[in-house]
Chains A and B, each alone.
Chain A
């Protein structure tokens, strides 16, 4: 699997380096007001783009056709994209924390670690959700259509979430009374469960695509 991740890192190397530098700059520059989280969001979006970008490159050069000839289980090929995404997400988190440290060093103020960690944690969870949504769609519809379907699904999910929050506004008080560790554990369980489901779907779509059941 290491070799597959290495291949993806080589492929996306140039673009990702540029995007990472930009993300670091955005995170390091102090922005006040409603755009204050722009840098953090951008860093995580970069992390999300990494696996989908490599799926697009794989499609373009028909890498999967070659990979099928190599001694890899299909599950290893699919898992490598998830691991790559998690590595990208962790890189995004490191960029956010590094940006916080740089901002503090420049302004002379104490770093706002609590806020940075909270934001990073929340974004990490969101990114894992997005990966879990994006990769199966990428394998099913191809990277280009997959991205469009993912953003449509995302907008729909946010809309549904807002609608649900309004409809169940009384439940907010119940959630607020739950101890934080229970919430964190619940969130972790949800992330693990969703990822397991997402990998299964990705593998199924990957095999169907390899078998020529979907057009490229």
Chain B
């Protein structure tokens, strides 16, 4: 069963539209949704949770249409962490836990207390006095304390220092290690996604540019560095973006389509994204 299955999802605003998005997150996997600010990542997440009405397409979450009445029960199995945690500033972690214990049937207070302790969060400090790191940790503690099967993270690591980011990425990796769990993680910090994800979906201006297995993606593409005159030997279909210097050129290429003998270096996910965006702009 797929954790999330999206077909032709469309949402139109006056100044932005998400067009015909197709996306699948299999159970047991981590899907990274990457894209610059305003690419449509948060809109996609809100559409998945039926927090926004769509203009077209279909979304099923754990086999249930997200517009059906049964989706309310499915939400019990979803933990969501938003970029802004949206917790009222006068609340404490303890009070927030009490509110959520009355919200989720499967709320586990011991689990919540355990996370609060592990993250070293003060129970009685008001939320307005929390740092960004503490805020995100509280959101994650809340999202994990009702034993969700699907974790949806919207920019959960942005604005955090590298130590906290690393700590949280470990938590997500541990969660995703279980076969009946899945994670959808949106971020514009590509290195975080590269560390954690099995699949990468790249959104650009409301369109899905690519959605592939991360390792396959890293195997498929490479960076070709050569003299400008040499680039002519490469099939134009193999080139997905390039930086042209006075004498040399660096290009994102599909390894298989590059003639033998030309040296193609391994690229990072960030290279792929940056070259693809540049190519789109050109």
Contact = CB atoms under 8 A, between A and B. Distances in A.
B172 to A, nearest CB: 17
Given A66-B82, A69-B51, A212-B13, A3 B90 contact: no
Contacts of B117: none
11 contacts: A3-B101, A3-B102, A6-B99, A10-B95, A13-B90, A61-B89, A62-B86, A63-B86, A71-B72, A71-B104, A211-B52
A7 interface: yes
B44 to A, nearest CB: 14
A167 interface: no
Nearest to A58: B88
Contacts of B49: 68-69
Interface string B174-208: 00000000000000000000000000000000000
Interface of A: 2-4, 6-7, 10-11, 13-14, 57-58, 60-63, 65-66, 68-73, 207, 210-212
B51 A65 contact: yes
Nearest to B43: A212
B101 to A, nearest CB: 8
Given A6-B98, A71-B75, A66 B86 contact: yes
A210 B102 contact: no
Contacts of A7: 88, 91, 99
A63 B103 CA distance: 14
Across chains A and B, which 10 residue pairs bring their CB atoms closest together, nearest first? Answer: A3-B102, A68-B51, A66-B86, A71-B75, A69-B80, A62-B86, A3-B103, A11-B88, A7-B99, A3-B99
Contacts of A66: 80, 82, 85-87
How many chain B residues sit at the interface, stated as a range, is: 20 to 34
B46 interface: yes
Contacts of A68: 46, 49-51
Given A3-B102, A63-B87, A212-B13, 9 more contacts: A3-B101, A7-B88, A57-B90, A65-B51, A68-B46, A68-B51, A69-B78, A69-B80, A72-B72
A58 B95 CA distance: 16
Interface string B240-268: 00000000000000000000000000000
Contacts of A71: 72-73, 75-76, 103-104
Contacts of A61: 86-89
Contacts of A14: 90
A211 B43 CA distance: 10
Interface in B78-120: 78, 80, 82, 84-91, 95, 98-104
